[in-house]
Structure 1
Amino acid sequence: MKKILKHNKLIVIIISLITLFFLFQLPKIEINNDIEVFLPDTHPTKISNNQLDDIFGESDSIVTALKFKKGDIFTPANLETISKLSSELENLKDVDEVTSLTGVDYIKGSAEGMVVEDLVEDLPQTEAEGRKVKNKVLSWDLYSDNLYAKDFKSTQVLISLNDGLTNADKEKAYYQIKDVTNNYKNNNTEIHLAGATAVNVLMGSSMVEDIKYLIPFIIAVLILVLYLFFKRALAVVLILMTVLVSSIWAIGLMAFLGINLTLVSTVIPVLLIAVGSAYGIHILSHYYDYLNEYQGEITVAEQQNLVIKTVNKMGKAVFLAALTTVAGFGSLASSEIVPIKSFGIFTAFGIAAAFIVALFLIPSLLIIIANYKDDFKTKNTDTPEFESVLEKLHSFYSKRRISIIIIAVLILSGSLLGFEDIVVDTPLIEMFKEDTQIRQADNFINENFAGTNIMRVMIEGKESGDLNNPEILKDMDGLQKHLLTNFKEVGKASSITDYIKRMNQVMNYPEEEIESASDQTAAGTEQLSKSEAASSSFYADESQATSSSFYQADENQESEMSSSSFYSDSESEKDTEGSSFYQGESESETESSSEREILKGPDKQKNISEYQFIQLLNSAFARADRKDIDARELIDLLEKEMNYKAAAYYEIPADLDKYGAASQQNLQNLISQYLLLYSGSVDDLINDQLEPDKGQMLLQLNDPSNLVAKKVRAEIYDYTSDFPEKYNLTVAGNATMALEANNLIVSSQEKSIMISFLIVFLIVALSFRSVIAGFYGIIPLAFALIINFGLMGHLGIKLDVGTAMVASIAIGIGVDYTIHFLHSYHQERLKEDDLYLVTQRTLTSTGKAIIFNAISVAAGFLVLLFSNFYPLIYLGFLIAVTMFTSSVASLTILPLLLNMFKPKFISKEY
């Protein structure tokens, strides 16, 4: 080292140039907290999600929820607000599509068959016209829990962004959307913004805020603690310089390599400031101990010799401490969770940088500073009070070995009991505090609508048109109903089946109802007579239904036309050839299909008795698949029982007899014709408008927990195990990727802990040339980790992407205390056989530096208690606890075991 430190000025220049290089890289750093960055590119779920993005487009959207305090969402004034907001949002550059009450397709039946129009063609001017819009909305459950809440006070505007946007583009689009929506906030309108994109953007903003405030805070804490210990401004400056240089190197390298900054990597500068100070502390602590032996002044040469002496004595211990710390953090590189992997790699690099600066830059600067002084005055920085406390501590526990062992066993036993209560869960939204706008927005939407957590299910056939098969569509519809029935957390399940069922319904509207609708249209404003209104009181005020033009025919259209014309009419050769859905079938099959008759709807003229009404209710209830149905469900069953507005046909056409089809191919052709007739876009649900072989089901979960997603996904796989073999199933989406990241936490945690312990064991064992030494090296760490995980279980702290790093950080930092103690104890043991004195001297020298280092690291991490994110708050708290437990274990349990068992390695000279 003496030869190296002769080139002290060159060392300073080289380190300064490297620091400047990395400093200029910092502006290039990008923030990205999208859930997909948590998974490696080779992960099957990430590959599947990218595949679904390519086929159906990206499913993530920014959700704008509006709540009106005056009137419901169907009043003219509120509908006008929704319309204006939707129009403004559509005009934004990066917005691809806006879905709202005033901008969504509506499928209705008419004398012509099927008509696709805007749900709101003209904004209503009166309350009555608003109620007509409401009637239309309620006629199709596709809109429920997305475009209206149960209290009709709230609605959503779903904003899809253009595909392929960068994170910077998404951030810009989010704030543009926020600016637009803010203009609509008033005494009547409450607005919430949520969705995966909003979470990602706001997490980035909060990260910047954390860095902006926490870094200066931790630096101030470090300066205060360092000054209280050293009582020298120079020591504070030198150690502070060490941690700042190491932080610049680590983050600068990330920027240079194009690695995104995530919530996890936000901790890197905080950690390096807190931990990187250790090496400078140990070197300067021993340097000033030597310096305190002189009284008054020493020569420059003597001072330089002290620097060399300090480095020679502490070099090995600091090197081993840095090596094991690098190994501890480097073990995180084995994690499959990408942000944790990056955190481990670049933190290890930063620790190595801190070691280099402490071992080379600090001594070089001490020598350079001494060269510019004519004399070098010493300043006594002894801390006799502190040393006295350590001596008393040693005296206390050296006489109570058995008691300490019993206490340690009890603490470990209590901690182990907490293991079974540890919950592994990583919902991104729950990383925010409850009082943040995004958390409140997400809660509002989950409570009032279908939910913001998206799971995607793709059903894939082998050939073009396979998804038109009524059997697979019926299975898909069954899956949707099953999930909605069995999981309250599944707020909505949507797929192409919703459109097929609606089209089947309107194409099978009872003929007499179509004729009635045509007559109503021809009559213009003609109203039902009082007797007609009275006789139809059980049928939801039919006068309103007809007056809403729900099934109006064109005035020039002949009233005889009905949906039955879409099936082969045996009386008309021309109709059979021109409009049959069963073209290409044999003549007998065509004749068979023509025998079908559409079920009649309710008779408007018929009065029924109370007894018949009870019978009707019982018949409708018999259709239910469970007993605990609500009023809305009972009404739906009544409508199906009576085929009110073809409610009995709101289904996938799969029954050959009911639809007068000779084969399943007939019905598959029918479904193909439905898709041909539909003029709207369903690109987000099927891969081809006419002959799809891939279909997507979107599940909206109103609970962000990965434990819920796990149960739902397992049920999907279980239910679809009976699907035809020719169809493959893929489950993806943000909910699934978060679940996979959650699953990786446990395996990554176990792997990194084992690797950390193994590396620490090997380094200590090789250093002391003893396998037994390796076991002594990991005992304090094991003690600290058991307490850490037990505490998590007892306090209900979840094992998430933040707290998953505690173990490796604790090992990486805590091993320093063990190595420094073993190294100092070994040196004292070579000089003295009296174990009491050996332990006392070790405690008053190295023990002092260990406690001070533990306090400074703990204080640094406690700054994270002021973070915007719960994982970082818990990380800071748990690291502070492990610093306490690992340092105490190193200063009590470790010497206790060394003195009791007297291992040979500790008294050998190497």
Structure 2
Amino acid sequence: MSGRISKTIAGGLFSIRPVVLLLFIAATVFLGFQASKIQLNTDIRKMVPLGHPYIQNFLEHKDDMSLGNDVRVIVAETQSEDIFNPEYMTALKEITDEVFALDGVDPSKISSLWTSNVRWNEVTEQGFQGGEVIPAGYDGSEATLEDLRTNVLRSGQVGRLVADNFQSSVVHAHLLDALGENGVDIPVLAARLEEIRATYQDKYPNVRIHIVGLAKKAGDVMAAAEEVAMFFFFTLALIAVLLLLDTRCLRSAMTVTVCSFVAVIWQLGIVSTLGFTIDPYSMLVPFLVFAIAVSHGVQIVNTLANYAAEGQTPLDAARNTFQSLYVPGMVALVSDAIGFLTLYIIDVGVIRELAMAASIGVAVIIITNLIVVPMVLSYLGVSGASVRKIQAGEKKEHPLAGLFARFTRKPLAALSIVIAVAGYGVGIYMSQDLKIGDLDKGAPELWPDPCEEMDCPRGYEPKPRYRYNHDVNFLVSNYSVSADVLVVMGKTPVESCNTYPAMQTVDDLSWTLRNVEGVQDVVTISSATKLISTNMNEGSLKWATISRDQYALNNVMSFMPDSLYNLDCSLAPVYVFLDDHKAETLDRVTAAVADFAEKRNNEEVIEFKLASGNAGVEAATNQTIEANQYPMLALVYAVVSILVLIAFRSIRAVICIIVPLGLTSILCQALMAHLGIGVKVATLPVIALGVGIGVDYGIYIYSKLAHYLKQGMDLESAYRETLKTTGKAVAFTGITLAVGVIFWAFSSIKFQADMGILLTFMFLWNMIGALWLLPALGCFLLKPDAARARQNS
């Protein structure tokens, strides 16, 4: 029945070839124009699981809290012993002014030695004294510089705004509402920060600038977008050359390459028309669309050339090619599209947009490659050299046939299945070490700082690919604060955040967290109260406690930093500074907070809620991915299995196609665990998308194998014939795509290099699994007589 449907569709489409091709050209022109308007975007809202309880808790208090979207500009002195010299302080003042003027920066929340909100205070015999850290009448003289040094020591900012070794200081700026409708323009902000770095490092040779923050990290990733495009076009050119060498036909190689590239244009055009943008994580999608399109295009050219070698005219060869590949091609592409859509269950904007973009891209391949490629070749035909190559190959055994056909024999088939079972076992065992989230310090999307493993000189200027993580390490090594902050929200009744029961509970939580591995420090309203009480009582440590006298606590609040409570004193945030944002660290800290909250939360006193800060976002994202990764993968396989079952009406077909695919997924997870690559926003889609590419191989091979079995051939003979045509195309596609993406390992973006390694493995292993394990399974599952009986029925 499917054969009659394919024949009818082929007849109808090929009878109106000129109309179809004209519509194709018109659509390409329109969508090409739309694609030119696509924008690169890193809206932080797309990177946050907005439905997660942590983020919902933050949104409830977003007017009083920050999501951790801030920037620290660290100005380091490289020549003098410390920062207390006129040239450094002049540079710091000018840089502070530059940061203050940046678009997207909240001008009310900037801290530097030159801002009025950074003050010192002390208790003397005459009472309280205090003032701005920069002395009144500062003129750069030795006397005012010595006053500045004294004020810094009295300010409590050593380790926070001033380095522990006094060789650098920080300009700390909070950005405007990251989740608001008018978010920060991250690329522009990151570019301006780089301009500040370049300008003042040139102007002041004694100064080196380090910049840390979520926006800067995202900006650095986006700045490498041009390089990602370069890798894409290099891969495109390489695949075109290899395709030409394999087919020995310029017209068919160019047809497949151009139509596959047009699929990318259509995908970007449709995405742009729908109002979507692309981000650093979805930049993988255009290549995957191109790869899948090439995979199907190679099958079409290979089949058409074989028909041409039998003496058919270009039109007949093209029509028969479409007719024979329509069903397996449609099944494979629909499986890919629906499989990619399963990523949508993960409540992270970038992943959901990636799922939509990938599904759209695969859907358009049905037109650009499955329909248009054979139509174009119906006019162009294939070269005589390509036909002669196929005719010569028919007279001798193909290398693939000699290598893989033997796996249809029971002894080797049984051994292969045993090896596959062992592979499943080893993969499952090794993948137990697979972690959720980041496994490295700093920004794992970018390359680690070489100075972590070597003693870099003072003032060392790293290469751009290492710069951000070098800056993070500089902050962590020289300051008592960390770039990774988890904020716990302590909600109290109005005007009750400074009551003794609330403060004491906060203090108990602080003590608990300080004893959790991975916590550097905890800053709270209670810790500030102890310090202020001490200062108010001649510095006596006996007073480093929380008074039970409410009047004393009210008096303390007049000196309390406003970042430690909100306007109506109904929120007391707990700032937890972490060693890093590794998954294990976040799990330990959030578990400790959740356990404490379960035991001590009291609506009448204080309730602790997780979480804000950049580490809070990371924790929410990790938990979202952990909860959905296996359901998502199970849904992918369920969808693919159902579609294969519908297409071939055989459980045996499902087993033969899915088992090799599952082995690839398991081994890929084992490889990730071995290489220290965690499951996160950047890598989770690769696992799902690899399934989509791999299923194409199995469907095409099984379809051709079933065709020969229905003709009455024994399994080994049928598989030999399959390897001469479809099998050869699968091998070429797998090797070519793997060669194309292996060069991603040289990318300046580490997560692209990681994806290149994973995709190379998946392309090759999916190919091997389809060519080796599928026939071994078929040896015990497929029977030629049964296949022929089904055909006759």
TM-score normalised by the chain length of structure 1 = 0.76
Question: How far, CA to CA, are the matches of 1:255 and 1:281 in structure 2?
Answer: 29
Give the letter aligned to residue 135 of structure 2.
Answer: E
Question: How far, CA to CA, are the matches of 2:528 and 2:413 in structure 1?
Answer: 76
Matched position secondary structure for 1:24: helix
Pairwise mapping of residues 346-745 of structure 1 onto structure 2 (< 5 A)?
A: 346-369=357-380, 379-382=387-390, 384=393, 388-394=398-404, 396-398=406-408, 400-426=412-438, 429-434=443-448, 435-449=465-479, 450-462=481-493, 464-487=494-517, 489-497=518-526, 499-509=528-538, 645-654=539-548, 667-675=549-557, 677-678=558-559, 682-688=561-567, 691-720=568-597, 721-726=599-604, 727-730=606-609, 731-745=611-625
Question: How far, CA to CA, are the matches of 2:88 and 2:63 in structure 1?
Answer: 37
Give the letter aligned to residue 405 of structure 1.
Answer: I
1:268 Cα offset (Å): 0.6
Matched position secondary structure for 1:183: helix
Query: Residues 133 and 148 of structure 2 are in contact (CA less than 8 Å); yes or no, is this contact kept in structure 1?
Result: yes
The 1:40–1:796 alpha-carbon spacing in structure 2 relative to 1, beyond 3 Å, is: closer
Give the letter aligned to residue 60 of structure 1.
Answer: N
Report the counterpart of residue 2 of structure 1 in structure 2.
11
Report the counterpart of residue 527 of structure 1 in structure 2.
none
Matched position secondary structure for 1:107: strand
From 110, 114, 117, the equivalent of 1:102 is 114
Question: How far, CA to CA, are the matches of 2:27 and 2:591 in structure 1?
Answer: 52
Deviating more after overlay: 85-94 vs 435-444: 85-94
Pairwise mapping of residues 220-259 of structure 1 onto structure 2 (< 5 A)?
A: 220-259=237-276
Question: How far, CA to CA, are the matches of 1:498 and 1:274 in structure 2?
Answer: 57
Question: How far, CA to CA, are the matches of 2:541 and 2:89 in structure 1?
Answer: 28
Query: Residues 519 and 579 of structure 2 are in contact (CA less than 8 Å); yes or no, is this contact kept in structure 1?
Result: yes
Question: How far, CA to CA, are the matches of 1:137 and 1:650 in structure 2?
Answer: 22
Give the letter aligned to residue 119 of structure 1.
Answer: V
Figure out how many residues of one structure are paired with residues of the other and give that number.
745
Report the counterpart of residue 330 of structure 1 in structure 2.
341
Work out whether 1:264 is the aligned partner of 2:281.
Answer: yes
Give the letter aligned to residue 82 of structure 1.
Answer: L
1:881 Cα offset (Å): 1.7
Question: How far, CA to CA, are the matches of 1:120 and 1:648 in structure 2?
Answer: 31
Q: CA RMSD in A?
A: 2.9
1:491 Cα offset (Å): 3.5
1:311 Cα offset (Å): 1.0
After superposition, give the CA deviation of every residue in 1:401-457 in whole Å (9 maximum; x if it has no partner).
344334334433333331222222237811101252111111211222211122222
After superposition, give the CA deviation of every residue in 1:339-366 in whole Å (9 maximum; x if it has no partner).
2222222212111111211222223323
Query: Residues 408 and 775 of structure 2 are in contact (CA less than 8 Å); yes or no, is this contact kept in structure 1?
Result: no
Matched position secondary structure for 1:63: strand
Work out whether 1:825 is the aligned partner of 2:705.
Answer: yes
Question: How far, CA to CA, are the matches of 1:115 and 1:256 in structure 2?
Answer: 63
Query: Residues 263 and 293 of structure 2 are in contact (CA less than 8 Å); yes or no, is this contact kept in structure 1?
Result: yes
The 1:57–1:452 alpha-carbon spacing in structure 2 relative to 1, beyond 3 Å, is: closer
After superposition, give the CA deviation of every residue in 1:176-221 in whole Å (9 maximum; x if it has no partner).
333234333244222101111111211111234312x112111111
Give the letter aligned to residue 714 of structure 1.
Answer: A
Report the counterpart of residue 786 of structure 1 in structure 2.
666
Report the counterpart of residue 178 of structure 1 in structure 2.
194
Question: How far, CA to CA, are the matches of 2:620 and 2:153 in structure 1?
Answer: 37
Report the counterpart of residue 278 of structure 1 in structure 2.
295
Matched position secondary structure for 2:64: helix
Question: How far, CA to CA, are the matches of 2:97 and 2:214 in structure 1?
Answer: 23
Question: How far, CA to CA, are the matches of 1:151 and 1:387 in structure 2?
Answer: 74
1:815 Cα offset (Å): 1.2
The 1:177–1:818 alpha-carbon spacing in structure 2 relative to 1, beyond 3 Å, is: closer
Matched position secondary structure for 2:171: strand
The 1:198–1:445 alpha-carbon spacing in structure 2 relative to 1, beyond 3 Å, is: same
Question: How far, CA to CA, are the matches of 2:418 and 2:773 in structure 1?
Answer: 11
After superposition, give the CA deviation of every residue in 1:799-831 in whole Å (9 maximum; x if it has no partner).
332332233222211111211122111111111
The 1:779–1:58 alpha-carbon spacing in structure 2 relative to 1, beyond 3 Å, is: closer
Question: How far, CA to CA, are the matches of 2:90 and 2:385 in structure 1?
Answer: 81
Report the counterpart of residue 632 of structure 2 in structure 1.
752
Report the counterpart of residue 460 of structure 2 in structure 1.
none
1:146 Cα offset (Å): 1.3
Question: How far, CA to CA, are the matches of 2:103 and 2:603 in structure 1?
Answer: 44
Question: How far, CA to CA, are the matches of 1:111 and 1:819 in structure 2?
Answer: 87
The 1:61–1:876 alpha-carbon spacing in structure 2 relative to 1, beyond 3 Å, is: same
Question: How far, CA to CA, are the matches of 1:180 and 1:839 in structure 2?
Answer: 65
From 212, 217, 235, the equivalent of 1:194 is 212
Query: Residues 251 and 380 of structure 2 are in contact (CA less than 8 Å); yes or no, is this contact kept in structure 1?
Result: no
1:85 Cα offset (Å): 2.7
1:237 Cα offset (Å): 1.8
Matched position secondary structure for 2:497: helix
Report the counterpart of residue 293 of structure 1 in structure 2.
310
The 1:21–1:76 alpha-carbon spacing in structure 2 relative to 1, beyond 3 Å, is: same
1:852 Cα offset (Å): 1.6
Deviating more after overlay: 167-176 vs 100-109: 167-176
Work out whether 1:169 is the aligned partner of 2:200.
Answer: no
Give the letter aligned to residue 81 of structure 2.
Answer: G
Question: How far, CA to CA, are the matches of 2:176 and 2:675 in structure 1?
Answer: 44
Report the counterpart of residue 42 of structure 1 in structure 2.
51
Query: Residues 255 and 373 of structure 2 are in contact (CA less than 8 Å); yes or no, is this contact kept in structure 1?
Result: yes
Question: How far, CA to CA, are the matches of 1:13 and 1:746 in structure 2?
Answer: 48
After superposition, give the CA deviation of every residue in 1:143-194 in whole Å (9 maximum; x if it has no partner).
2321122222222111233445855634333333332343332442221011
Matched position secondary structure for 2:444: helix
Matched position secondary structure for 1:425: coil
The 1:21–1:695 alpha-carbon spacing in structure 2 relative to 1, beyond 3 Å, is: farther
Question: How far, CA to CA, are the matches of 2:386 and 2:686 in structure 1?
Answer: 41
5+ long unaligned stretches in structure 1: 510-644, 655-666
Matched position secondary structure for 1:49: helix
Q: Percent identity?
A: 21
Question: How far, CA to CA, are the matches of 1:363 and 1:397 in structure 2?
Answer: 33
Question: How far, CA to CA, are the matches of 1:742 and 1:223 in structure 2?
Answer: 39
Report the counterpart of residue 158 of structure 1 in structure 2.
172
The 1:268–1:190 alpha-carbon spacing in structure 2 relative to 1, beyond 3 Å, is: same
Query: Residues 335 and 751 of structure 1 are in contact (CA less than 8 Å); yes or no, is this contact kept in structure 2?
Result: no
- When Rg is computed on C-alpha atoms for both structures, the one with the higher figure is 1
Give the letter aligned to residue 347 of structure 1.
Answer: A
Report the counterpart of residue 350 of structure 2 in structure 1.
339
The 1:415–1:249 alpha-carbon spacing in structure 2 relative to 1, beyond 3 Å, is: same
